[in-house]
Amino acid sequence: MKIYTRGGDKGLTSLLNGRRIPKHDIRIEAYGTVDELIAFCGLIRDSYSNKYYNDLIVEIQDNLMTVASMLANDKRNDKLNLPVITEDDILKLEAEIDKIDEILPPLRSFILPGGNTAVSACHIARTICRRAERRITKLSEENSTDPLILKYINRLSDFLFVLSRLISKDLDIEEITWTPSL
């Protein structure tokens, strides 16, 4: 398989069914943002040496590839055999959030991101996740999308937040809270 095809040289790209659309289309924005999120999840793995959570992040990256493929399918050809996000994927994230949240100190203020590369990577991934959520919401207004996609992305941003706090706790990094200057 060649890396370059020259097919995008005029600002168009292909969906999974072969239909060509502009690269600025909201569908491309949505799954392109998910692709960016996948890359930042890799940075979390590279920055944090915890096998359990690194394995979980690989699973999340796999799920995000599923999300991207679901978004890249405009359903004009449902003969494609694609993986899907399930309610179990969401429940797993919720269970992880609850497990982490039990060992964290209560949150009483906003936290300023930083203190360690892995912590910052989690926060960057969280904000990219929120942007993906906004893009997917916009796409959902114009086209039919599986509601589990949005639910998974929403829960993932919560997971990335609590993971950033867990990493801070594990590495004994002080969380700097935001104190508004009035």
The full set of domains in the chain, from first to last, is 21-171 (1.20.1200.10)
Mean pLDDT over residues 27-53, rounded? 96
State residue 91 phi and psi, 5-degree precision. -60, -35
pLDDT band at residue 77 under the 50/70/90 scheme: low
Whether the pLDDT of residue 132 is over 80: the answer is: yes
Q: What pLDDT shows up at residue 17? A: 76
Strand ranges in the chain using DSSP code E only, listed in sequence order: 12-14, 20-22, 111-112, 176-177
d(CA 62, CA 58): 6
Q: What pLDDT shows up at residue 139? A: 95
pLDDT band at residue 48 under the 50/70/90 scheme: very high
d(CA 71, CA 37): 14
Q: What pLDDT shows up at residue 148? A: 97
| pTM of model > 0.95 | no
Q: What pLDDT shows up at residue 121? A: 98
> What distances in angstroms separate CA 147 from CA 97, 141, 170, one per listed residue?
21, 12, 35
CB burial class (10 A; 0-12, 13-18, 19+) of residue 108? exposed
Whether the pLDDT of residue 34 is over 90: the answer is: yes
Mean pLDDT over residues 144-164, rounded? 97
Higher pLDDT, 161 or 27: 161
| Separation of CA 69 from chain center | 13
Q: What pLDDT shows up at residue 181? A: 86
Rg (CA), the chain: 18
d(CA 180, CA 114): 18
